[in-house]
Structure 1
Amino acid sequence: MANERLRTAMIAAGVSAAELGRSCGVDAKTVSRWMAGRLPHRRNRMAAATYLSATEQDLWPQARPDLAPTASAAVEIAAAWGRRSNVPTELWAALLLGARERIDVLAYTGHWLWECDPRLPSSITEHHVQVRVALIDPDCDHVDERDALEQLGGTFRGRVKDALGRGQHIWRLPTVQLGLHRSHLYNTIVRADDQMIVTPYMIRRRGYEHPALHLRKHSPHGLFETFALEFEDVWATCHPQEGD
């Protein structure tokens, strides 16, 4: 089916197939194929859209179904709970034990994870799962701020150190990296391959009181990828635990 959106945009801009092709580094015949309905590579889609003062969605809506009027980010939400404490222990275990490529954790302590199933260390080792764990640096000022926000009465720093100690059987595994961050978190992230549980933070509530979302990756543009990129941003700021 001919791409009338592209043809119309070219006419409106007064751009020929040859001119658009030069802007994208392709020949006029290739642009003609696009006009006939062929879907260009994303790099070329972006270059053409920029040259025509349009968006990728304007010219090739089929390439971004996540932006269609009927699309919904909810397609990636497999389940939701009003409190993290309502997430079944079996689900935490199933996600972590089911990982075959990666586990990423972003949290303040993540204390509920390290003892959710005694088989976790052997599962990580057997399947050579690459694990990255980003926890709060117990010596940073933000620990005191979080303690005050959650009204923990000065106990939060001890909880952080306790969680770091309880996870030693995980940290010592050869495929596990532990990093300490100093970030103000707005949610926790527990990723296992293409699934994750995200806990958005609510003001003055404690960890177990926050809601939780179980996400399954559906596209590279959805909720899942948004949180995955957040993990990468924080991970880039992490430093090793002193003494590692």
Structure 2
Amino acid sequence: MTVQGLAEAIDVNPKTVERWITQGKVPYRRHQYATATALKVDVTTLWDDSRTVESSADLSKAEIVAVYPHRHTVPPGLWREIYTRAQTRMDVLVYSGLFLSEDPLFHDLLKAKVEAGTEARILLGDPGCAAVRQRGVDEGHRIMDGKIRNALLHYRPLFASHPDIGFRLHDATLYNSIYRSDDEMLVNPHVYGIGAYLAPVFHLRRLPGGGLFDTYANSIEHTWENARQVTDRDITGA
């Protein structure tokens, strides 16, 4: 990023940015957080300030809206509620996310959002990959590939009717299922020995300089970049 680009991104004079670089001037706290957010790094990698460390930790805590002990205790409408608020992007990063694929209201929401210009990306596990097989073992069953194919069957009508909805398959080892809507997300950690529906869920909302939200959001981008397109064979297993 250029000096001019950063200055425009955080709404300061380019000469101010130059002084931070060439003269070692330390920005105001709000500009530190804004700069770290624009550069997608933790603020403490740019300025070594114990007060900044404490403030960054406090901001990360403030990004936690709510914590639910199990996925099944999340209010039933919250999944659709956060996606209803999406204006720019909505992402689903899971192995199967079968419960969401079975929801016809979520399908209607997906269609309405992409028709309004929102980017939608659904990332499911590659049914034949090692990570999917292992997750089935970790959860105490061996049917994760079948759950993914069922999810693909539910989504199949959208493939032709709404090709602008992005569907890809990944072979990543997931430590969380992530449901993102703009600057809001639900994170469902994966716990050895139990299904995701029994694991906790964190409701997060992004705050500039917080870092917690962006850590999970970045994992979506990395997984999307390395994922592949869905084929008919993935759905049928033939």
- TM-score normalised over the length of structure 2: 0.74
Distance (whole Å) between structure 2 residues aligned to residue 181 and residue 36 of structure 1? 41
Residue 90 of structure 2 aligns to a residue whose secondary structure is strand
Offset from partner CA, 1:150-186 (integer Å, 9 cap, x none): 111x322211100111112444423311111011110
Q: Aligned residue for 2:151?
A: 163
Distance (whole Å) between structure 2 residues aligned to residue 218 and residue 187 of structure 1? 21
Superposed displacement of residue 144, structure 1? 2.0
Alignment partner for residue 77 of structure 1, among 38, 43, 64?
64
Superposed displacement of residue 200, structure 1? 1.0
For the aligned residues, what is the CA RMSD?
Answer: 3.3
Superposed displacement of residue 78, structure 1? 0.7
Q: Which has the higher helix share?
A: 2
Q: Aligned residue for 1:58?
A: 48
Residue 72 of structure 2 aligns to a residue whose secondary structure is helix
Is the alpha carbon distance of 1:162 and 1:66 closer, same or farther for their aligned partners in structure 2, counting shifts above 3 Å? farther
Distance (whole Å) between structure 1 residues aligned to residue 45 and residue 145 of structure 2? 48
Distance (whole Å) between structure 2 residues aligned to residue 96 and residue 35 of structure 1? 39
Q: Aligned residue for 1:100?
A: 87
Superposed displacement of residue 204, structure 1? 0.8
Identical counterparts, % of pairs: 29
Offset from partner CA, 1:73-119 (integer Å, 9 cap, x none): 22001111000111112111111222111011110011122343253
Q: Aligned residue for 1:229?
A: 218
Equivalent pairs counted in the alignment come to: 205
Superposed displacement of residue 141, structure 1? 2.4
Distance (whole Å) between structure 1 residues aligned to residue 26 and residue 136 of structure 2? 59
Which structure has the higher relative contact order (CA within 8 Å, separation 6+)? 2
Larger radius of gyration: 1
Structure 2 unmatched ranges of 5 or more: 1-17, 234-238
Superposed displacement of residue 123, structure 1? 2.1
Superposed displacement of residue 142, structure 1? 2.4
Distance (whole Å) between structure 1 residues aligned to residue 221 and residue 146 of structure 2? 27
Structure 1 unmatched ranges of 5 or more: 1-20, 47-53
- TM-score normalised over the length of structure 1: 0.72
Distance (whole Å) between structure 2 residues aligned to residue 93 and residue 145 of structure 1? 29
Distance (whole Å) between structure 1 residues aligned to residue 134 and residue 101 of structure 2? 25
Is the alpha carbon distance of 1:37 and 1:113 closer, same or farther for their aligned partners in structure 2, counting shifts above 3 Å? closer
Q: Aligned residue for 1:7?
A: none
Instruction: Supply the AA of the counterpart residue of 2:84.
Output: L
Q: Aligned residue for 2:113?
A: 124
